[in-house]
């Protein structure tokens, strides 16, 4: 993941529960057909380890077919077991170094950095492939303790080559301003899965905005 001449792309986060992985794989295939998605993060909360790995394995062929990187949230060990493209680590989810050792240097390790350039520099020094800033807007997907301002994306983009991901309450109304501020990826959950016209329509709409 490098920033030079790269367009701002969509980073899709799953809902926190997936009841039927096969049915969801079919939905995801339709979503990916609707437009460009760079990454898909499997963010299951409260699922067993076996369910996370099994769901990832069911979704992997769909992600591969559309050239979408599949990441597992929170757990480098499960990302390793499922042999996916990488892991997203929060500040309490283990070190980048250990994740890279386990997964291999070719796998993606992204890190939550809240509203802190200091955390982002530390993640970058440890070898993170991207840093995530947020939450930019109110969200019901997660209880957030940190609020990020757009200028952190601009300052990061001016200083560092490592891509940034903007997250938290992003909608089709706000994606453009984050892109303009310098975000390299726009991470979205509810604005896709709860879109009035369905997730494929949402991905089409985000793609139009990010292409402008």
Ligand X SMILES: Cc1ncc(COP(=O)(O)OP(=O)(O)O)c(N)n1
Is 2 flagged in the annotation as binding? Answer: no
| Number of neighbours of residue 37 by Cβ within 10 angstroms | 23
Q: Are 155 and 121 in contact (CB under 8 A)?
A: no
Torsion over CA: 46, 47, 49, 53 (sign): negative
Is 93 flagged in the annotation as binding? Answer: yes
> Is 135 near ligand X (CB under 6 A)?
no
Question: CA 80, CA 174: separation in Å to the nearest integer?
Answer: 34
Question: CA 124, CA 111: separation in Å to the nearest integer?
Answer: 9
DSSP per residue over 84-97, as a string? -SEEEE-TTS--HH
Give the one entry of ligand 3NM, ligand X, Mg ion, none that residue 165 binds, where binding means its C-beta sits below a cut-off of 5 to 8 angstroms depending on kind: ligand X
Of 87-95, 100-108, 147-155, 194-202: span binding ligand X (CB under 6 A): 87-95
Is 139 flagged in the annotation as binding? Answer: yes
Q: Which of 93, 122, 139, 176 binds Mg ion (CB under 5 A)?
A: 93
Q: Is 138 helix (H, G, I), strand (E, B) or coil?
A: coil
Question: CA 95, CA 201: separation in Å to the nearest integer?
Answer: 37
> Is 112 near ligand X (CB under 6 A)?
yes
CB of 88 to ligand X, least distance (A): 5
Give the one entry of ligand 3NM, ligand X, Mg ion, none that residue 116 binds, where binding means its C-beta sits below a cut-off of 5 to 8 angstroms depending on kind: none
Considering only residues 33 to 52 of the shown chain, the ones binding ligand X according to CB under 6 A are 41, 43
Chain residues binding ligand X by CB under 6 A are 11, 41, 43, 73-74, 88, 90, 93, 110, 112, 132, 134, 142, 165, 167, 187
């Amino acid at each position: 993941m490098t920033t030079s001449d790269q367009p701002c792309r969509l980073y899709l986060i799953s809902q926190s529960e997936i009841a039927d992985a096969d049915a969801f794989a079919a939905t995801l295939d339709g979503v990916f057909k609707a437009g460009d998605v760079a990454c898909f993060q499997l963010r299951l909360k409260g699922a067993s380890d076996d369910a996370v790995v099994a769901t990832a394995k069911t979704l992997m062929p769909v992600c591969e077919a559309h050239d979408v990187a599949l990441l597992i949230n929170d757990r480098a060990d499960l990302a390793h077991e499922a042999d996916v493209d990488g892991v997203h680590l929060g500040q309490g989810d283990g070190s980048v170094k250990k994740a890279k050792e386990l997964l291999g240097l070719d796998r993606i390790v992204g890190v939550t950095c809240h509203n802190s350039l200091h955390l982002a520099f530390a993640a970058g020094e440890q070898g993170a492939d991207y840093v995530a800033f947020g939450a930019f807007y109110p969200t019901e997907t997660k209880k957030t303790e940190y609020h990020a301002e757009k200028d952190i994306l601009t300052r990061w983009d001016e200083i560092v080559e490592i891509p940034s991901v903007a997250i938290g309450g992003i909608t089709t109304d706000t994606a453009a301003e984050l892109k303009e501020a310098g975000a390299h990826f726009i991470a979205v959950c509810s604005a896709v899965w709860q879109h009035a016209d369905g997730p494929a329509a949402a991905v089409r709409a985000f793609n139009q905005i990010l292409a402008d």
